[in-house]
Amino acid sequence: MLMILLVLLHKGKGGGLSDMFGGGFSSNFGGSSVVERNLDRLTIITGIVWFVCIIALGLLLKP
């Protein structure tokens, strides 16, 4: 759930589904580049932890 939330918090890169679901609206507020970088880092770290957990569970539950 955290991974989905973090991905949805990212600002859209113009056009597409992100603008359809409110990406264009959030761009009016303008975000700090520090906040965006921290969000990127947090998303990458969460993705890595998620990937490692899936691999570890796969290895542990292997019959």
Using one digit for the tens of pLDDT, what is the confidence trace for 16-62? 455 555 555 555 455 567 888 888 899 999 999 999 999 999 999 98
- Domain, as residue range, for 24: 1-61
CA 6 to mean position of chain CA atoms: 4
Looking at residue 16, its pLDDT comes to 47
Tokens of 44: 């990458």
pLDDT tens for each residue of 1-19: 888 888 888 876 654 455 5
4/45 Cα distance (integer angstroms)? 13
SS3 state of residue 31: coil
Overall pTM > 0.85: no
Q: Which of 32, 45, 7 minimizes the C-alpha distance to 53?
A: 45
- Return d(Cα 52, Cα 48) in angstroms, integer: 6
Could you give the number of structural domains in the chain?
1
